[in-house]
Amino acid sequence: MISEGGLAGRTSSAPRTVRPPRWCNPGSAEASRSAAVRGRRGRIRLPRREETARACPSQIGCGQARGVEQMTEIVAISSKLVQREDGVWVAPRQDGVSYPEEGNEACFAVEDASFWFRHRNNVIRQLVRRFSPSSVFFDIGGGNGCVSRALQSAGTEVVLVEPGPIGARNARRRGIRTVIQSTLQGAGFARQSIPAAGLFDVVEHIEDDAAFLRLVSYYLEPRGTLYVTVPALPFLWSNDDVRAGHFRRYTRDSLSALLRQCGFDVLYCSYFFSFLVVPILIFRSVPSWFGFRKSVTPATTRREHTGGVGFVRGFVGKLLRSEVHEIGKGRPIRFGSSCIAVAGKRA
């Protein structure tokens, strides 16, 4: 019943080059009109379902209309991306990441039934509702779209950025409307074009985490909001962290200090998954220290993500609901196997 999630096949669709529209040229008559698409403070505003429905009341050709509008807005913030026939935007340069190749597929097999992913989504939704209720949200390193789907279902407009082809494909299967297969840097976004971004169990996979957070700050709007989740408590380090491609685990203080060092003001920071600390220590960390932690099979992963049976599952559910309530009220939790922070970019 112990679990921790991770960061995020192959498609045969050939990339389709998108020619930038005339309004992308500075000084053109269309440039001033295109500013309305970006919305207040220059933000990119993706089409909502109800807006598309009003534009296409007969529903004939609505999918095509949505694709054209979305294409226009993606081109407005990046000149590098091309769109495949399956709707996924792709960067010409595909950089590697510290994440196992099979990681996204393994996560995809358990995410929908997992108490771990469900609880993390609930915590994230609480904080996004509080700090970025109307912003377009960029889910960077968003894997299979587990978080993106939860936010999109709650009414948030989401752009998922995922370097792995399997994760990007799975995100489209989940119904994520805007998926970009690329690293953040490879996508070629314009400076200060992102209003809100999430790094959900991503930063621990980056060797130079400070340089990466500064890169994220470069793309965020002034006073843009960043959401981060990471595995917590260094003494919980185990072979599972090594297999997942982690470079470190964090404390609440170390994560807050890192964000401040990289030009952010910490608006909120808390641990969560408090009840997992002891099970992870006993069943993962200690066995790893003494060299007898067994390799994890898919069956073991599925079992750990179920949350137990009977009264155990009920007890776990009660603990998780209590955490969501505390975090929703803005009260930090004192310890846990994960940490979440909300930070604002300094103007």
Tens of pLDDT, residue by residue over 132-183, are 988 899 999 999 999 999 999 999 999 999 999 999 999 999 999 999 999 9
Range of the structural domain that residue 284 is part of: 103-345
Q: Give yes or no: residues 147 and 271 share one domain.
A: yes
Read off the pLDDT band of 3 (50, 70, 90).
Answer: low
Q: Give yes or no: residues 37 and 140 share one domain.
A: no
The closest alpha carbon to 254, from 211, 284, 198, 209, belongs to 209
Q: Give yes or no: residues 55 and 112 share one domain.
A: no
For the chain, helix, strand, coil in percent to 5 are 45, 15, 40
Q: What angle do CA 152, 32, 77 make, to 5 degrees?
A: 40
The domain tally of the chain equals: 2
Q: Give yes or no: residues 70 and 113 share one domain.
A: no
Q: Give yes or no: residues 255 and 113 share one domain.
A: yes
Looking at per-residue pLDDT, the higher value among 193 and 303 belongs to 193
Average pLDDT rounded to a whole number, residues 101-114: 77
Q: Give yes or no: residues 111 and 58 share one domain.
A: no
> Is the per-residue pLDDT at 268 higher than 60?
yes
Q: Give yes or no: residues 110 and 70 share one domain.
A: no
The enclosing domain of 239 has a CATH number of 3.40.50.150
> Is the per-residue pLDDT at 261 higher than 50?
yes
Average pLDDT rounded to a whole number, residues 230-237: 98
Type of residue numbered 236: L
Please check whether residue 72 is in contact with residue 37, taking contact to mean a CB–CB distance below 8 angstroms.
yes
**Strands 158-161 and 137-140: what pairing?**
parallel
Tens of pLDDT, residue by residue over 7-64, are 333 333 333 333 333 323 334 333 333 333 343 333 444 544 444 333 333 332 344 4
Q: Give yes or no: residues 69 and 107 share one domain.
A: no
pLDDT of residue 274: 97
Write down which residue in 77, 93, 118 finishes a domain: 77
Average pLDDT rounded to a whole number, residues 113-123: 95
d(CA 269, CA 341): 4
d(CA 73, CA 43): 10
Looking at per-residue pLDDT, the higher value among 71 and 181 belongs to 181
Please check whether residue 202 is in contact with residue 141, taking contact to mean a CB–CB distance below 8 angstroms.
yes
Rounded to the nearest 5°, which phi and psi values hold at 229?
Answer: -120, 145
Average pLDDT rounded to a whole number, residues 211-237: 97
Per mean pLDDT, which of 48-62, 90-104, 243-257 is the most reliable?
Answer: 243-257
The closest alpha carbon to 115, from 252, 279, 342, 343, belongs to 279
Read off the pLDDT band of 126 (50, 70, 90).
Answer: very high
Q: Give yes or no: residues 142 and 278 share one domain.
A: yes
Q: Give yes or no: residues 195 and 317 share one domain.
A: yes
pLDDT of residue 96: 62
Secondary structure of residue 130 in the 3-state scheme: helix
Q: Give yes or no: residues 181 and 306 share one domain.
A: yes
Question: In this structure, is residue 185 part of a structural domain?
Answer: yes
Q: Give yes or no: residues 53 and 135 share one domain.
A: no
Half-sphere exposure of 90 (CA within 13 A, CB side): 22
Question: In this structure, is residue 219 part of a structural domain?
Answer: yes
Question: In this structure, is residue 297 part of a structural domain?
Answer: yes
Question: In this structure, is residue 86 part of a structural domain?
Answer: no
Question: In this structure, is residue 283 part of a structural domain?
Answer: yes
pTM of the model: 0.80
Question: In this structure, is residue 88 part of a structural domain?
Answer: no
Question: In this structure, is residue 145 part of a structural domain?
Answer: yes
Question: In this structure, is residue 87 part of a structural domain?
Answer: no
